[in-house]
Each structure stands twice: as structure tokens, then as C-alpha cells.
Amino acid sequence: MQPPAPAALPPIDSRFQLGAEITPTQAAFLDHHGFLHFEGVATPDEVAMIGSEMERIEKQWLAERRESVYGIPLFFGRGLRNEPIVQRLAFASMFSEPIRRFVRDARFEPIRRLVAADARIGDDEKDGVVINRYLNVPGSTYPRLGWHTDGLRDLFYGRMPVRFLNVGLHLDACDRANGGLRLIPGSHTQGFWSMCFRKPYFVSHGEDPDEICVETRPGDLTVHDGRLWHRVARSTREGAPSLRRSMYVPYLTGPYEPKSDASPTPAYHRLGAWLRARKLARTKPVGA
């Protein structure tokens, strides 16, 4: 069966159903726009389990005074009561058997095969399974994330950017008012120069006339090409209503490249950790 022509594709804000196979229409939508949005992939109980495991891991790491995991710095910030929190948890499935089992559930097989027939889950590779927590409160070091493509990471690893699909499970309701994932559809087909210089990486946060907002509900799954320009906008809400959590699962091909606590920290993570520490120091209350 021939995939539909671009003009025959569903509307750009379409929510798809994840079935036993990726349909020709879904594959054509991904190729043309650079992303897919599947609704209701995880149940409310599964979303609650991931949130509970996140809190358990965070408590363990804070007690251990960890600053990094397998060479990847932890993102520290302040919570609703000005308590220290971890806002980005790398390698979560290495510290949680329930999460490790969940990401291997048979329902995700079409996603794995979409990446490649031999794709694997990189529990201990790259940054592993990552859980992000965005919170718009004083002292948060992670209320938003500036414009970027993931091709920059490939360049830091000394290789040309290739197609890399980001697979994210969303744990909270996130409409446009709550910030959320912003994408520039079709930008994954740009040339190398545009990928490097279209916007200043991470420090650019302004709205783009071509961007769209992917509005998600708890349990939704998104797939987007890492070469796509994307960002996470700051919530217009403050405190608890601004909470936005998402979990990204790495599907990898090629040589197995495991990390350990002896692994060096990549240069771009060292720079990010320094910038976050400076920001946190500026927002830390006197005497805290």
C-alpha cells in the first residue's frame, strides 16, 4: 500500500491510536512532519507507578548526596516548599525494576520496530531512561528548555547527525497554558547549516511563527525526530498547577556503549551543570 501524499495527511494536531503496527498513514505523518502523538498509551495506574518510582529514586539519590549518575549530572532545583528536588533523573530504569519492565511491555514493540528492527532500549547508554520534571517556582532550575535539536549531541560525540527518534511518555495534563512541548514541523529535513545555526542553542526561548504546541494528557506518548527544532515552554501557571513530568525512553542501534559511575561527563553536560549551579545560587534564599 502506498503511503498517503502530504496533502492527504490528517490534520497536524491529530492524536493517533497505538496499535499492533505503525500504519502507513502514521509513518507518512512522521516522515513529513517529524512527530507523532499517540493518546492513552499508559493507564492511570501505570502513570501513578512511574511518579511513585520517581519520588523513591529521588529520595534515595538525595540521601546519598549524589551529584551525577553514570557521568551524567543531576539537575537540582527547588520544590513547592523550597525543598531540594531532582528535576532531571537520568538512567531511571537502572534504579527501578517496575520502570524497566514497563518500558519493555509488548505494546511498545511497534515503536521499537519503527526505530529499527534491531533497536534496543539503552538502559545504561547515552542518558538512559530519563524522567524530566518541569516546575515553575522560585528556585527551579528547569522551568523550561530552550530551542535545540539533538543533532548537537551527535556532533559532541564526533559523528554526523542521523535520524534519532525521541519517545516520550507524558505523566501530566499539559495544554498550551502549561508550557509544553513546542515543535517546528518539518524542520528535521533541514540542511546541516540550519541545524547548527538557525537558533542559538538552549538560550533561545522565543515563540517561532512556525511552531506548534503538542498538548498532552496523562498516559499520552509522543515520538519526534531529534533533528527537529524543539523546546519546552515555561508554564504560565505557578506552583503545583505548573507541574509537567515526562519520561523519555532511548531506542538505540549500533555498538553497545554502556556507561558506569566511572564514565566521564560529556562536555555539554559539564557546561549545563555549571550554568544551573550559578542560577540556583542566585535564587537560593539567604541563610538557606
Domain map (residue ranges) of the chain: 26-253
- Which CATH class for the 26-253 domain? mainly beta
Give the model's confidence band at 200: pLDDT under 50 very low, under 70 low, under 90 confident, else very high: confident
Q: Which residues contact 169 (CB under 8 A, 6 or more apart)?
A: 41, 42, 50, 219, 220, 221, 246, 247, 248, 249
pLDDT at residue 226 tops 70:
yes
pTM of the model: 0.87
Give the pLDDT score at 198: 84
Give the pLDDT score at 269: 63
pLDDT at residue 113 tops 90:
yes
pLDDT > 90 fraction of the chain, expressed in percent and rounded: 68
pLDDT digits (tens, 9 = 90+) for 94-108: 999 999 999 999 999
